[in-house]
Amino acid sequence: VIFGPESILKAGWLTKTGKRKAASAFSTERKRWFVLTRGGKLLWFTNEQSDSLKSAISLAGATVNTVGEKEVQIVTPEKDYFLAADDTTEAQAWIEGLNEAGAAQTVRKAKRGSNGSALTAAASMHISARHGGICEEPDVIQRGSSFKQDRF
């Protein structure tokens, strides 16, 4: 199934912060290009033109919390993610998008029932060089996956 730009809820730059335990005062910050899909996936890349996925998470069962004025925390069963926007308006737009994508994923999962075939992991996706189209396949996304540069 091929999804066009209408399957993308939001795309843009966010700073991903690696929070450290209280014993360490250091944290890592990386500016990344994020793509949020209506299918409840949040994907990130080194930059907007990159066709190499850095990582992705499924928003199914995730909780989105506000941390300060420009930062959000995404709590998943596996890990917590901290993302910061450049300003409060952009942060609010991401929070709304994340909540919409997560709610859509929850509804989709509920409609499939509890008999199995609901999404259990992020789907492998082929994304155009500028992330204008997505082709979803039933494989698991792996860190460092490469994507074909198809035009949609």
DSSP 5-17: GGGEEEEEEEEEE
Distance CA 138, CA 119 (A): 9
Q: What is the tens place of the pLDDT at every residue in 115-132?
A: 433 322 232 233 333 444
pLDDT of residue 101: 87
pTM of structure: 0.67
pLDDT of residue 129: 32
Domain residue extents for the chain: 2-140
Distance CA 113, CA 77 (A): 20
Give the CATH class of 2-140: mainly beta
Q: What is the tens place of the pLDDT at every residue in 53-89?
A: 999 999 988 889 998 899 999 999 889 999 999 999 9
Distance CA 23, CA 146 (A): 36
Distance CA 76, CA 63 (A): 7
